[in-house]
Amino acid sequence: MRFTILLIAILMTFSVAKAETFDSIAAIINNEAVSCYDIQRDTDTMLMQLKASGVEQPGSRDQLFKRALESTIVKTIQLQEAAKLELRVSREEVEQAVQKMEMQNNLMPGQLEQALGMQGMSFDEYKRNLKEQIQIGKLINIAVRSNIKISEEALREYHRKYLADPKPRRQVELGQIFLPLPSEPTPAQIADVRSRIKAIHSKLLAGNDFKQLVAVHSESSDRDQGGIMGWVMESGIAKRFSPALDLPVGAITQPIRSPSGYHILKVMQERWQEPTPAGESYEEVHARHILLKVPSFSDEKTSAKIRQRAEEIAKEMQGASEEEFITRAKEASQGPSAGKGGDLGWFRRGMMVPAFEETAFAQDAGGTSGVVESSFGLHIIRTVAKRKIDPNSLEAHRDKITQILTNVEMQEQAPRWISGLRSKAKIEIHDCSSIDILQIPSQPDTAIQQDAQELLNTAEGWRKAWSEQDIEAYFAFYSPNFAPEKKTLEQWKSYKKKVIANKSYIKIAVTNVSIKFNDDKEAFVEFDQRYESDRLTSEDHKLLIMEKNGPRWQIIKELVQAQS
């Protein structure tokens, strides 16, 4: 049996060295497999990023591979923990993060996707990574940040030293080289890491380039940014690292031991922060509310009923005690603060919608309003208390100080928590050294070599999206010119959505891959495919005809030959 399309004018053929390339396992992490292909691709990305940042000798490929594998292990463990806690990331959260990234980089809406495309990066892959970062951030907030308690004494001490009588303060940008320790290291492990960090320190004293040594040796999350930790000032960093704040620009610390490993810090730059003018005192209000929402689709009769109910509650709450208002808010309020008895905490002018704010500030402490309408719905507002705030007072800076001191604690506790999570995980490391992703004959056309690698990346991304049942990512690998047999493109998409969605799991393994070029805009990716789901297992020989759209390769035809 043959494919129905004749492959003609084939200019170049590349073959995968091993049949198991796409499915070879680099590690098994709590029963979840990570492929050698994924780690080698991450290694390639890391190598390109390091060279783009000016690192001339980023270390051996073996070193970078081990680093990429360790990063994947740590990320996978955290995502598994997030899944246990059923932490979700909505599409809206991802879109907001994309918008924030565009604003930070002075890009217009939609330009980030274009910028990534010019670099040969998939926007869907970028959003998938962004989603994982948000999910891990939620996990760390729950597992670490929420357990950090800043004492009143610590808040007062910070305020007394740095804000009660504000003065210019020195800020320094720190870089670091970090070597980790296990959560419960043996004396031999400590001695080994201590010996390595001392050797690195000696190289720095001898004049070796800091960023070069970061690229080769450091294992911190900031290593891809040259080890840059960011700008800090006194009390904004863990005490064990504070000696770095007294050093001149260009100087390095002695190796510093922390619960998570050994660090060498370098002062990269300095600047002075002038104190912010104090300004005038201002008023704050502590308020509670009962919110009744009015759906946008409500007709006049429904809206009138909701308002009548709000009027009844407002009348009932006139003269009610604080406890009575709290109880009623828990029963009737439809806002997110309902579980807290409608408590909105303290706020100043400009923090609430105008109609709400005007009423809350106009009432005396202990007063309860009638029905107040805002864009959120109908409110009954209780003004609990009022106060005047001195802009230099502790209360004016309480939230800011709490955030600073919490971040300091996070520097200590987050790495320790991650190390503990890793030590409890069941991890099997496999050998990928015999696997070559692509054997490319020695020839001068580097553009063809790059296209071949991009085709492999596309095929692997397509396989991964299908296996993960990520419909949007899966469709993104198909060209707008894709021509399904006996169906329109929309009919085919509708059919594929149903077929993929109704499976409890899908596993795709791809072997014996070959790539053939027709010209610089069209190529053929041919392979054996094993499909497995809860309903079906099949083995086929498949051909993907690909076209190059801008920097991306996409599928325009998909042909299947069932294997006997």
- Confidence (pLDDT) at 268: 96
Same fold for the pair 152-277+395-417 and 282-389: yes
Domain 152-277+395-417, CATH: 3.10.50.40
Burial (0-12, 13-18, 19+ Cβ within 10 Å), 254: exposed
- Confidence (pLDDT) at 430: 82
Burial (0-12, 13-18, 19+ Cβ within 10 Å), 70: middle
* Radius of gyration of the chain from its Cα atoms, rounded to whole angstroms: 30
| C-alpha to C-alpha distance for 516 and 498, rounded to whole angstroms | 32
- Confidence (pLDDT) at 17: 33
497 sits in which H/E element: helix 489-501
| C-alpha to C-alpha distance for 443 and 457, rounded to whole angstroms | 21
Helices (H), 245-391: 300-317, 322-332, 354-362
CATH topology of domain 1-24+435-564: Nuclear Transport Factor 2; Chain: A, (3.10.450)
- Confidence (pLDDT) at 166: 78
| C-alpha to C-alpha distance for 130 and 443, rounded to whole angstroms | 38
- Confidence (pLDDT) at 75: 92
| Contacts by residues 462-465 (CB-CB < 8 Å, ≥ 24 positions apart) | 462/544, 462/555, 463/22, 463/508, 463/510, 465/124
State pLDDT tens for residues 131-183.
999 999 999 999 999 999 999 999 998 888 888 777 888 999 999 999 988 87
> What are the residues facing 348 on neighbouring strands?
284
- Could you give the 3-state DSSP secondary structure of residue 10? coil
Could you list the pLDDT tens digit for every one of the 564 residues in the chain?
A: 333 222 322 233 333 333 333 346 788 888 777 878 788 888 887 777 777 767 766 777 888 888 889 889 999 999 999 999 999 998 888 888 888 888 877 888 888 888 877 766 678 888 888 999 999 999 999 999 999 999 999 999 888 888 877 788 899 999 999 998 887 889 999 999 999 999 999 999 999 999 889 888 888 878 777 889 889 888 888 889 989 999 999 999 999 999 889 999 999 999 998 877 666 888 999 999 999 999 888 889 999 999 999 999 999 999 899 999 999 999 999 988 999 999 999 999 999 999 999 999 999 999 999 999 998 999 999 999 999 888 888 888 898 899 999 988 888 888 889 888 998 999 988 877 644 433 333 334 566 677 888 888 899 899 999 999 999 999 999 999 888 877 788 989 998 998 898 888 898 888 888 888 877 788 888 888 888 888 788 888 888 889 998 888 999 988 776 444
Output the CA–CA distances (angstroms, integers) from residue 110 to 19, 99, 107, in the order listed.
Answer: 40, 9, 8
Burial (0-12, 13-18, 19+ Cβ within 10 Å), 395: middle
- Confidence (pLDDT) at 244: 93
Q: Which residues contact 174 (CB under 8 A, 6 or more apart)?
A: 228, 229, 230, 232, 237, 241, 244, 265, 266, 267, 268
Helices (H), 53-90: 61-84
DSSP designation for 255: P
Q: Which CATH class is domain 282-389?
A: alpha beta
Burial (0-12, 13-18, 19+ Cβ within 10 Å), 18: middle
**CA 510 to mean position of chain CA atoms:** 29
Enumerate the domain spans of the chain.
1-24+435-564, 152-277+395-417, 282-389
Nearest CA to 509 out of 159, 24, 6, 155 is that of 24
> What are the residues facing 29 on neighbouring strands?
32, 427
- Confidence (pLDDT) at 446: 61
DSSP designation for 28: E
pTM: 0.58
State pLDDT tens for residues 342-387.
999 999 999 999 999 999 999 999 999 999 999 899 999 999 999 9
> What are the residues facing 439 on neighbouring strands?
15
Burial (0-12, 13-18, 19+ Cβ within 10 Å), 370: middle
DSSP designation for 55: -
| C-alpha to C-alpha distance for 219 and 222, rounded to whole angstroms | 8
| C-alpha to C-alpha distance for 279 and 259, rounded to whole angstroms | 42
